[in-house]
Amino acid sequence: MDITKSTVWGMLLLLLMAGALLFVRGHYLSQQSACATRLVAMAPGLTAYAREHRGMLPQTPAELAKAVGPIDITGYAISPHRLHWQHGKALPYLQDSQKHRFVNGMHILYTDGSVRLTE
């Protein structure tokens, strides 16, 4: 079998592209994991806020930011409905404003405190 220079370069280029794809995918998956962790970390602040507001959840970004403290709320969309925290059926409250790449889904914080990845 005769291996030419162009074949070797082609194989190296293919390996380099595969490595880059894995790196980019890993980056997005780590961002996705950080997103879910951030939503879970908001639960104690939301519980405290609800205690002070008859079980109701924040409705504006300013109220949400005050409730969860130093946690970054950029990139999340708040439900337009007035919702109660940990009361009744679990409803979507806070979600990513865009789907995560490579998994084509988004994390949603429900009113029972759970975080789910939905497509």
Over the stretch 37-80, which tens digit does the pLDDT of each residue have?
889 999 999 999 999 999 999 999 999 999 999 999 988 999 99
Structure confidence at residue 9 as a pLDDT band (50, 70, 90): confident
Residue-wise pLDDT tens digits, 73-110? 988 999 999 999 988 899 999 988 777 655 668 889 99
Residue with the larger pLDDT of the pair 88 and 18: 88
* Relative orientation angle of helices 5-52 and 61-68, to the nearest 10 degrees: 90
Checking if the pLDDT of 20 tops 60, the result is no
Entry pTM: 0.69
**Residue 102, pLDDT score:** 54
Highest mean pLDDT among 11-20, 21-30, 61-70, 92-101 belongs to 61-70
pLDDT number for residue 109:
93
How far apart, in Å, are the Cα atoms of 45 and each of 50, 71, 100? 9, 10, 25
Strand ranges of the sheet holding 92-96, from the earlier edge strand across to the other edge:
76-78, 92-96, 106-110, 115-118
Rounded to the nearest integer, the mean pLDDT of the chain is 81
Domain boundaries defined on the chain: 34-118
Helix (H) or strand (E) holding 7: helix 5-52
